Structures are given as C-alpha cells and as structure tokens.
Structure 1
Amino acid sequence: MNKFRGAYVAIVTPFTKDGKVDEKGLKDLIEFQVKNGTHGIVPCGTTGESATLTHEEHHRVVELTVKTVKGRVPVLAGTGSNSTSESIELTRAAKAAGADGALMITPYYNKPTQEGLYQHFKAVAEAVDIPIILYNVPSRTSVNMLPETVARCAKIKNIVGVKEATADLNQISQVIRLCPKNFAVLSGDDFTCMATVAIGGAGVISVTSNVAPKDMAAMMDAALAGDFTKARKLHYKLFPLMGAMFIETNPTPAKTALALMGKIKNSAPRLPLYKMSEASTEKLSKVLADCGLL
C-alpha cells in the first residue's frame, strides 16, 4: 500500500523577528503535529514559503524536519521549482537529508505545455531515485496538469501520487480513473478533501492541519475507513476554520492563527507577503475561539 495516505500537514516555516528561520519554533510545531496524530509532514511547500527560502534555508528546513520527526511519520519535502535543473538539485538534497518523498509543483510562470510538464517530471524522476508526488495547483502556477498527463507520469516507477489542488471533483475523478490503483491521489484543498476520499482519493495535504491536526487526521481516518457519518461531522466542525485559513493569502492566516494560539512567536510571513490586517485578524480570532482553539 502507498504510504502517502491520510492527513499530511503543509507545515509553515516560522521566522524570528529578524527574519531568520526559527529552528526551535519549527521543532515545536513538528512535535505538536506528531503528538496530535498528523499522518505526515510536508516542509517547504507553498505554505512553508518555499518561494522565498534561500537554497541553504530550504536544505536546512528539510534536514531539521527529518531529524526532528525521527521516522515517526513520513516526511514529504517540497522540492519543486520552475527550473528543472533546480528541481533536481533540491530533490537530491531532500533525498540526502533522508526525506521519504518529494512533493513537486508544476513549473510556474514558464507555462509549459503538457509535453513539457511530462518531460520535466520524467527528468527529475530519472535523476533522483525517491518517491515523487506531483503537485497540481493552477491557481498558483497558471498551468493545469491534465489527467492524461498525470496518468503518463504515473507509469514512471518512482512517481507515486499527485496532490490535486484544483478542487475540481470531475478532474480528480478522471485522475483516479486513469491512474493505477496504488497511485495516491491527495487533495490539495481542505474544503474538498473528504469528498476526494469518498471518490477514491488517499487523503489531503492540508493547511488547516497546522492549527487543527487532531481533527483533520480524525476526519481522514474516518473517511478512509468508510465512516462518512463521522467524517462529515468533522468536516462541518472544521469548515469555518478552513475558510478562515484563506481570509488572506496562505500562509498568512495559518501563521497568524498559530501565533494567537501561542504556538509560534512571530506571525509575519516574508515579503512580498505581509502581516494580516486588523479586520482579518479579528475575523480569524473569532473563528479560532468558536472552534475552541484559543
């Protein structure tokens, strides 16, 4: 069975007041996640602000995550880039650090064709022998990786899954229909993750898990076990929180929530992202309080 199942947290990268990676803060967040039943950790994803980490910081965050996790759950390291050679370098570093797999975003800004996407992932998969999860998020990249392209990639032995963040159950159904049974289709959208599992998906890579790891993991456990009465109850419990995580650009709300909960000291993301407005912070605080997280 594919090990990439359940609720994986797209973990934030906390920074100190002077803008450096807060290593103690990150270790504490990882412990909070593992203790609360998260099924896996994803460092250096979009939520981890990979776009504004230097290569040295990127390597260090992955290395620190692997060392802190100590094999208790899988570590799926974000290693994608819009440059194939850079993606290979980041993926090699993740493998050397001991990551269990690599999460690779479709190249952004360049707008490759479907053939270009296939050749990009094929080149990385052939260069680095590590399990690879593709990551399709058209809202961020301006390119939609079509189900037929995902199915082509699924024939490459170490491409073992996809994070589908289109929130389009039609497209996700096509991916599941066209790919092998053990190919992990993970939701990249908290709102539709339970529905994704209902149609044959394997779980979620979640933003909301940053603040509510226990409930997200329990929802995925229930859905994967076919207990949709319990899963649905948890979905609607978490639904306001899922919305609050996207009041402003991710990961600003997640980092603000963690700071309000006393889990990190500094809520600020790196520029060009900016700290949350007072009005949004007020709305977020109310949702956190209503969910019993403050």
Structure 2
Amino acid sequence: MKTLHGTGVALVTPFKSDESIDFDALRKLIHHVSDTGGVDYLVVQGTTGESATLTKVEKREVLSFVLSENKGKLPIVYGLGGNNTKAVLAEIAETDFKGVTAILSVSPYYNKPSQAAIINHYQLIADQCPVPVILYNVPGRTSSNMTAGTTLALAKHPNIIGMKEASGNLEQCMAIARQKPSDFLLISGDDMLTTSMAAIGATGVISVLANAYPKTFHLIIHSALKGDFKTSSEATFQLLDINPLMYAESNPVGVKALLQQMGIMENFVRLPLLPASAELQDAIAKTAPKLP
C-alpha cells in the first residue's frame, strides 16, 4: 500500500446557499489539491466532508464525481463507517467500489463499545469489504479510544492495512509503531503531529489543512519521510497559528472559511454546524499564512 504513503487530503464537501452540493466548487478544490502535485491521495467523505449530514445518495454522488474528475490520477480512500455494524455492512454491500483504493472506517461512536466489541466490529467489516480497510481512531469524536493492543490485534487481519491515529497520544502511537507489521500503515490524524509521527514510523497524514495548503503538506511529510526533520518542522511551524482556528467552531467550519478567503468555495455548512462567525473569519484572515 505504498500508494497511500504521504499526504491524504480529507476533502471538504462544498455547499451552495441552499445547502445543495456545489460540484463546481468541488471540482475547483480537487484541482487545487491535486494539480499542484501537493497531495498523494484523496479522502472522500471523511469527517471533514460532513459525511454525517449527507444522505447515502449524496455520498455516492460525491464519490462518483471525485472519481470522474480525478481520472485515476490519485488513489481514492472512501469514508465508510458508523456505530451500527449491520448498517455499515449493508452500505458496503450497496456500494460500487470501482476506482476506490481503500475505505477509511471510523471507530463506532456514541455507543462506547468495549475493546473486544471494537475488534469484532472491524473484523466483520474487513471480512466483507472488497477493498482494504484503514482504521480510524478519533476519541475526541467517538468518546472511546482504540488502544494500541486493539490496533495491533486488528493489524493481523489480512484486509486491514492501516490506522489513522488521531488520539493525540504519542505514547500510544509509539506502542503501535513498535510492534506493528512492517507493511501496516500508521497515519497521522493530527496535522500538527505529522512530523513527530513520521519520526516514530508513520507513513503519512490524512490532513484537514491540506485542503488549503497542499504543497506545504507535501513538504512536511516527504521531508520527514526522508529524515529531514528540520525542513519538516519548519514547514509545520508556519501552520501553528492557523491550525487551532480550524477547530475553534468545529471542523470543517474553519477550513471552509479559509477556502472561501482563498476563492475556492463559499462558506456554507449544514446544521447542526453553522458557518464561521464574523470573529472567526476575521481571525483567519489575519492569521492565515500566504503559502503555496
């Protein structure tokens, strides 16, 4: 799965003022992140894509559109997970995976399952999914953490190829890196920890800010993968001030405001999120670095 090394961009889903999907803006975004040579693969309908508020039909329309615009240029990872195992399996059965390299499947949220239950959930998904599975641990959203032991147990499954780790717990990530199979992908789920994660064996990042700064993230991760941590760190430092603003009113509110200011899309989200406040938009305008 070396095709999934480097930067994966968690694509936002642009909306019009009536909350319908803005496919013209999505086209502009796809070319912004891919034509520059900045990102290595596209992640469609992850959390940043507001997957929680898109219908099944809309999700498939977005995936089909991205596949059409991408024209096979970059690998595609599709977000497909949830907290109802049977519903996830049904969605897998109904999905056309032609052109999809792998799925990114979030750990079950809200239910707060045990570690054994999480393992059973993912094993069923991996058994039935026709493409490889990337695990996604994000305790800040799911209210439950996947331990290093759980990740390592699941890494033994032949159809589970990696983990997007967004716990922010570097010791946990180190425990995974120490014992994981050599071909198991450890992927940073925190933009600002990408350099640190690469230093302990991560193969890349699935990034929010890469929507706006694809070339900067290419520099961050590929410098780190070459062992040039000085260059990687210096590139990351340029994003330290803007990064917290991306989450001040929840993701993807901040990055959509930034992308609006860059002329890529409008600043619309779906309830229960609201567009960035005037105060946040002003802070982003004053803070955003002028980077490629």
Q: TM-score by structure 1 length?
A: 0.95
1:3 is paired with a residue of what secondary structure? helix
User: CA distance change for structure 1 residues 26 and 91 in 2, over 3 Å: closer, same or farther?
Assistant: farther
Question: Equivalent residues in 2 for 1:85-234 (5 A)?
Answer: 85-93=86-94, 95-234=96-235
CA distance in 1, matches of 2:121, 2:262: 40
In structure 1, the residue matched to 2:78 is 77
User: CA distance change for structure 1 residues 93 and 236 in 2, over 3 Å: closer, same or farther?
Assistant: farther
Contact 2:83–2:109, Cα closer than 8 Å, also in 1: yes
Q: TM-score by structure 2 length?
A: 0.96
Report the alpha carbon displacement of residue 216 of structure 1 after superposing the two structures with TM: 0.6
List structure 1 segments (4+ residues) > 4 angstroms apart after TM superposition. Answer: 92-95
In structure 1, the residue matched to 2:2 is 2
**Amino acid paired to 2:267:** S
Contact 1:63–1:94, Cα closer than 8 Å, also in 2: no
Report the alpha carbon displacement of residue 194 of structure 1 after superposing the two structures with TM: 0.8
User: CA distance change for structure 1 residues 188 and 254 in 2, over 3 Å: closer, same or farther?
Assistant: same
Contact 1:245–1:254, Cα closer than 8 Å, also in 2: yes
**Amino acid paired to 1:139:** G
In structure 1, the residue matched to 2:290 is 292
**Amino acid paired to 1:7:** T
- Which whole-Å deviations, capped at 9, do the CAs of 1:164-221 have from their partners, x for residues lacking one? 0011110100111121011000011111111000111111100110111110111111
CA distance in 2, matches of 1:92, 1:233: 45
In structure 1, the residue matched to 2:262 is 261
Report the alpha carbon displacement of residue 287 of structure 1 after superposing the two structures with TM: 1.2
Between stretches 15-24 and 201-210, larger displacement belongs to: 15-24
Question: Equivalent residues in 2 for 1:231-246 (5 A)?
Answer: 231-246=232-247
CA distance in 2, matches of 1:223, 1:110: 37
In structure 1, the residue matched to 2:30 is 30
CA distance in 2, matches of 1:169, 1:228: 17
The two structures, once aligned, show a CA RMSD in angstroms of: 1.5
**Amino acid paired to 2:136:** Y
In structure 2, the residue matched to 1:249 is 250
CA distance in 2, matches of 1:90, 1:10: 20
Contact 2:135–2:162, Cα closer than 8 Å, also in 1: yes
Report the alpha carbon displacement of residue 244 of structure 1 after superposing the two structures with TM: 2.5
Contact 1:132–1:158, Cα closer than 8 Å, also in 2: yes
CA distance in 2, matches of 1:226, 1:94: 39
Contact 1:2–1:183, Cα closer than 8 Å, also in 2: no
Q: Which runs of 5+ in 2 are unaligned?
A: none
Contact 1:215–1:234, Cα closer than 8 Å, also in 2: yes
- Which whole-Å deviations, capped at 9, do the CAs of 1:122-158 have from their partners, x for residues lacking one? 1111111211100000000011011111111111111
- Which whole-Å deviations, capped at 9, do the CAs of 1:240-269 have from their partners, x for residues lacking one? 2222222220000011111111101x2111
Q: Which runs of 5+ in 1 are unaligned?
A: none
1:156 is paired with a residue of what secondary structure? coil
User: CA distance change for structure 1 residues 48 and 144 in 2, over 3 Å: closer, same or farther?
Assistant: same
Percent identity for Structure 1 against Structure 2: 37
Contact 1:91–1:102, Cα closer than 8 Å, also in 2: no
CA distance in 1, matches of 2:96, 2:252: 26
CA distance in 2, matches of 1:93, 1:203: 30
**Amino acid paired to 1:57:** E
